[in-house]
Amino acid sequence: MRTIIVTGSNRGIGYSIAKYLAERHYRIIMVDYDRSINETGSKMNELYGNVEGIQCDVSSYEKCEEAFSTVDRHEIYGIVNNAGINRDVMFKNMTYEQWDAVIKTDLYSMFNVTKQFVNSMIENNSGRIVNISSASWNGNIGQANYSSAKAGVIGFTKTLARELGKYGITSNAVVPGFIKTPMTDAMPDKIKEKFIEKIPLKRIGTPDDVANAVEFLMKEESSYINGILLEVGGGMFL
């Protein structure tokens, strides 16, 4: 059974990815900032028998080293770098703390987590890295911090695709559009309606829409797909 780490999986898209992959017979390590991830992991384990939860703040390199010290590095087949936050505000009013928190959580986490497992993946001569970016990577009003981090995720993804391909490791980004989760539930209804109007499929995406894309990239049969941006946005990127 192949083991996959999913960060930010206590709720939202990460939770759906973990569940979707567990249902499809992967062993899952659910990672989240919130301590209740241990309970979430246990509950999921009762259902699927192949899940555990680990508490970790992925914005901190030291915390990642510590949290993953008990994980058998060579067991890890895949990483889904999903944990992310937003602190939306016009740049002129953005504080250093709002900039720093988003860059550390959404971009540094890519380094902090992937670095723990990349050498064992190289030794295994196989692996899958899937990083969650966002439609906002291309720039978005009120999201200078978030857009910068999510554009960085794409640079990171493509660079790893070039560097690690020769070891049988693929690195791809999934780029969600507008997905119903606690992150987007916090948005005012008027803004949500405007977004939906711009989506050709005229609906907000579900976390499972994203999970399906991640699972596709994890497959053995996807071994020749490397360095892509897989957009999950109902056509909003057209």
Nearer to ligand NDP, 161 or 179 (CB): 179
Q: Tell me the catalytic residues.
A: 146
Question: Token digits for 21?
Answer: 């992959």
* Binding footprint of ligand NDP on the chain (CB under 6 A): 7-8, 10-14, 32-34, 57-59, 82-85, 105, 132, 134, 176, 178-179, 181-184
H-helix or E-strand spanning residue 160:
helix 144-164
Burial readout 147-186 (b: 16 or more C-beta within 10 A, e: otherwise) = bbbbbbbbebbbebbeebeeeebbbbbbbbbbbbbeebee
Judged by DSSP in three states, 175 sits in: strand
Q: Which residues does residue 130 pair with via DSSP β-bridges, in sequence order?
A: 80, 172
The distance of closest approach from Cβ of residue 167 to ligand NDP in the complex, given in angstroms and rounded to an integer, is 26
Nearer to ligand NDP, 127 or 205 (CB): 205
Task: Report the alpha-carbon distance of residue 95 to residue 105 in Å, rounded.
Answer: 16
Nearer to ligand NDP, 1 or 187 (CB): 187
